[in-house]
């Protein structure tokens, strides 16, 4: 099937082209990446604006990547852009549109038209066997890598069952709580902010943080006589708070004393 259909964007305006960056961003996320021969030129035409990611299970524990790349007699491949193996290896099989979504609906996506707007990931899993830590973590990382590139949050990941559950009775990815999956992706996106920087940028940022830390902790003379330790800004602030408190107590005591004296001489202090 080599049909290429141009569809209306229906409110989606930012066209970013085909995701030629897939292999790069996955590698940057420290995933084991295999590039299917010619993946940059494979697909059923060009993407429209990419909204996000749709995740699937293949229905079998050991579906090889080339089955997702080539499809089957009734549906010519690619069946998604990425294949995720049980051991966490990701194979990039296509940069163009793939047949993975079918009819369905989801807020923000044009009805029955998700293939042109979502990057599909097919994970080798029969849907009832559960998800090993290694495959689940790689799934989270895959989605995070793509969302980071798109500049989107975890809400832009949906399961095929969320898209097509009502229209097609799809239940993939089986055994996966999508809200929990999105929460895990959100955590990964947050934690990965540093990782998204280049090595050089990371070193620069760490040097800056070290500098601030040094200023906060090591460049102040100690307030304790004969101590080898230097003081901290926090120590100075606490110390000045304590001095404030002591002065306040002294003032109170003086006021009380004054009141007593005035009472003794038969006068009352005017307040
Ligand atoms: Zn599916």
Q: Report residue 38 as tokens.
A: 């010619």
Distance from the alpha carbon of residue 133 to the mean position of ligand 1, in angstroms: 21
Does the structure show a pLDDT above 60 at 192? yes
Does the structure show a pLDDT above 70 at 271? no
* DSSP secondary structure, 75-98, as one string: EES-S-SEEE-TTS-EEE--SS--
Q: Give pLDDT tens digits for 212-230.
A: 877 777 666 677 777 776 6
| High-pLDDT (> 70) share of the chain, % | 87
Distance from the alpha carbon of residue 198 to the mean position of ligand 1, in angstroms: 35
Distance from the alpha carbon of residue 58 to the mean position of ligand 1, in angstroms: 7
Q: Give pLDDT tens digits for 67-99.
A: 999 988 788 879 999 999 999 999 999 999 999
Does this model's pTM top 0.75? My answer is: no
Does the structure show a pLDDT above 50 at 12? no
State residue 226's pLDDT score.
Answer: 75
Distance from the alpha carbon of residue 211 to the mean position of ligand 1, in angstroms: 50
State residue 127's pLDDT score.
Answer: 96
Residue with tokens 């949050």: 153
Distance from the alpha carbon of residue 262 to the mean position of ligand 1, in angstroms: 89
CB 156 within 8 A of CB 52: yes
Distance from the alpha carbon of residue 227 to the mean position of ligand 1, in angstroms: 67
Distance from the alpha carbon of residue 120 to the mean position of ligand 1, in angstroms: 9
Distance from the alpha carbon of residue 122 to the mean position of ligand 1, in angstroms: 7
State residue 212's pLDDT score.
Answer: 82
Cα–Cα nearest to 35, from 79, 95, 114: 95
CB proximity list for 113: less than 8 A, separation 6 or greater: 7, 10
Q: Give pLDDT tens digits for 136-168.
A: 999 999 999 999 999 999 999 999 999 999 899
């Amino acid at each position: 099937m080599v049909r290429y259909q141009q569809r209306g964007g229906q409110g989606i305006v930012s066209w970013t082209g085909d995701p030629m960056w897939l292999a790069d961003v996955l590698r940057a996320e420290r995933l084991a990446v295999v590039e299917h021969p010619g993946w940059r030129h494979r697909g059923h035409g060009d993407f429209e604006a990419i909204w996000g990611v749709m995740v699937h299970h293949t229905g079998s524990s050991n579906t090889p990547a080339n089955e997702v790349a080539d499809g089957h007699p009734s549906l010519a491949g690619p069946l998604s852009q990425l294949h995720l193996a049980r051991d966490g290896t990701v194979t990039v099989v296509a940069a163009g549109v793939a047949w993975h979504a079918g009819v369905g609906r989801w807020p923000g996506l044009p009805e029955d038209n998700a293939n042109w707007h979502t990057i599909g990931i097919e994970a080798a899993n029969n849907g009832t066997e559960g998800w090993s830590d290694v495959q689940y973590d790689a799934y989270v990382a895959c989605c995070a890598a793509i969302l980071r590139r798109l500049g989107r949050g975890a809400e832009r990941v949906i399961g095929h069952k969320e898209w097509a559950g009502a229209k097609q009775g799809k239940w993939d990815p089986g055994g996966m709580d999508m809200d929990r999956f999105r929460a895990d992706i959100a955590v990964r996106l947050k934690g990965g902010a540093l990782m998204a920087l280049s090595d050089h940028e990371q070193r620069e940022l760490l040097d800056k943080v070290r500098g601030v830390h040094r200023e906060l902790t090591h460049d102040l003379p100690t307030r304790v006589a004969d101590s080898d330790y230097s003081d901290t800004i926090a120590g100075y602030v606490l110390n000045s708070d304590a001095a404030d408190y002591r002065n306040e107590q002294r003032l109170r005591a003086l006021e009380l004393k004054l009141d007593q004296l005035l009472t003794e001489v038969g006068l009352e202090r005017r307040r």
